[in-house]
Amino acid sequence: MTHNQDWDIDRYKTEHEPKHHWALKREFMERNKDRFPEHSLVCLANTLGNIEFMGCQYPQDTMDLIDELSMGLVQDYRENQKGKLQRTFVSGSVAANKKVNRT
pLDDT (tens digit per residue) in 42-101 = 999 999 999 998 899 999 999 999 999 999 888 777 777 777 656 666 777 777 777 677
| Per-residue pLDDT at 1 exceeds 60 | no
Give whole-number Cα distances, 37 to 32, 71, 80, 95, 98, in Å.
10, 20, 30, 45, 49
The rounded distance, in Å, linking the Cα atoms of 77 and 40 is: 22
pLDDT (tens digit per residue) in 5-50 = 888 899 999 899 999 899 999 999 999 999 999 999 999 999 999 9
CA 40 to chain centre: 15
